[in-house]
Amino acid sequence: MKIEKVDKIQINDYLDYTGKEIDGVIKEILDTIELRGDIYYAGHEKKEWIKMTLERFMPNYSNESKIIYPLENDREIARRICIYALEKQKELFNFAHVFLFPCFSDFVNEKMSGVTGYCSRENVLLIFINFNGNWKKGLNSVVLHELAHSVSKFYNGGLVSIGEGMIFDGLAEHYRESVLRDGKSPLVTGLKKEEADKIFEELRDKLNSETLKDYTDVFFGTGKYPTWTGYILGYNLITKFLKEKDNIDWYEILRMDPKIILKKVI
């Protein structure tokens, strides 16, 4: 594990797993990760909670032969990309604790350019990299998306209702897009507007649901809805919200209560 600090940013690199048995990687991380002040264990108050997060985001052991270990300078490149992305947005946050973990998921490799993320707590960003994918491009986008979550005191590790989740991910994607100016990401382009509007009406009575099954069905395509549906619906809602703004102050908007935004746009 390597810790690197720059102004307002701390990178915690757990990508040193080359040549190690995959089954032992999570155990080694758990043995190494430290309890730290108000961020606890990478944003988790209990070690068993960070264990659950690692087991959720990292593994896919069915295809170990496909696993690519980082090249000699990949870890340094990953840290540089994170630092560069965050340094250009320093006015947005007070401090950013970034944790870099390996990821062996085929889904992340094939559907997410090799990178996914999770904001476990305010000011804490967990980034998972599958070095099979187009991870260098994906990393920049994921860092900015998770940064948008991390500055909000309302995000609460993603333990939110479907409606709040739509607002959070809609905000994060609009913010990411405003910084990179590279157009919409694949997360928000999978449905035509008419299809998205129809699904939103179907979900209107479930916007307050906080059940995990409902949430994963809407956001990750585990039920009857296409993958990324929640992101698309959230993006559309925030498009409507931002049209009413003469000036976009991301520092203020990303810190707004999502329930207030949701009421304004439905």
The closest alpha carbon to 105, from 217, 230, 232, 220, belongs to: 220
Q: Judging by DSSP bridges, how do beta strands 96-102 and 9-13 pair with one another?
A: parallel
pLDDT of residue 9: 98
Paired with 128 in beta bridges are 101, 116
Paired with 41 in beta bridges are 44
Q: Contact at 8 Å (CB) between 11 and 83?
A: yes
Q: Give residue 204's Cα distance to chain centre.
A: 25
- The residues spanned by each domain of the chain are 2-151, 159-265
Q: Contact at 8 Å (CB) between 255 and 199?
A: no
Please give the average per-residue pLDDT across 158-162, as a whole number.
Answer: 92
The H or E element spanning position 85 is helix 74-87
Angle separating helix axes 212-220 and 229-243, nearest 10 degrees: 80
pLDDT digits (tens, 9 = 90+) for 98-147: 999 999 888 898 889 999 999 999 999 999 999 987 899 899 999 999 99
Give dist(CA 227, CA 53) in Å, integer: 21
- Average pLDDT, rounded, for the chain: 93
Q: Contact at 8 Å (CB) between 99 and 132?
A: no
Please give the average per-residue pLDDT across 236-247, as a whole number.
Answer: 94
Q: Contact at 8 Å (CB) between 223 and 215?
A: no
Amino acid at 131: F
pLDDT digits (tens, 9 = 90+) for 165-201: 999 999 999 999 999 999 999 999 999 999 999 999 9
Residue 161, classed as helix, strand or coil, is: coil
Paired with 102 in beta bridges are 129
pLDDT of residue 56: 92
pLDDT digits (tens, 9 = 90+) for 44-55: 999 999 999 999
Residue 63 has pLDDT above 60, yes or no: no
pLDDT digits (tens, 9 = 90+) for 4-19: 999 999 999 999 987 7
